[in-house]
Amino acid sequence: MVKRVRHPGHKTTCEVQFYLSSLPADAQKIGNAIRKHWGIENQAHWILDVTFNEDRCRIRSGHSPRNFAFLRRVALNALNQESTYRRSLAQKSQRAAIDNNYMMAVLKAFCQA
């Protein structure tokens, strides 16, 4: 069990989370594993949000949110595979949107990986 207490502004919030693990009951090891997991999650989400404005997406019904999340991750992987244009992912995404030749290079690099 992990208890988190936050003090944003003038409020205090408390959250309790439960985790299942095969690790021995060592608070230090379990705490490190939880922090590592959330560090990876937050970094991946941050990249998707900055590159594709994922948090602003208003797709909310049916299978659409999951489908578009999948497509964003495919696009992110494709942009990461392309290595001739050494710029940020956002710049690569913008270039692929306006330059069909570059988009084909991104798709070719992705398909060869």
pLDDT, tens digit, 9 for 90 and up, residues 1-52: 778 888 888 889 998 988 888 878 888 888 888 778 777 666 778 888 888 8
44 lies in some domain: yes
Task: Supply the range of the domain harboring residue 94.
Answer: 25-112
61 lies in some domain: yes
- Domain count across the chain: 1
DSSP 9: T
15 lies in some domain: no
64 lies in some domain: yes
pLDDT, tens digit, 9 for 90 and up, residues 100-110: 999 999 999 99
100 lies in some domain: yes
60 lies in some domain: yes
Nearest to 93 by CA among 51, 36, 59: 51
CA 5, CA 15: separation in Å to the nearest integer? 6
pTM above 0.75, yes or no: no
Nearest to 15 by CA among 1, 26, 31: 1
Q: In this model, does residue 99 exceed pLDDT 80?
A: yes
Q: What are phi and psi of 59, to 5 degrees?
A: -75, 120
CA 21, CA 30: separation in Å to the nearest integer? 8
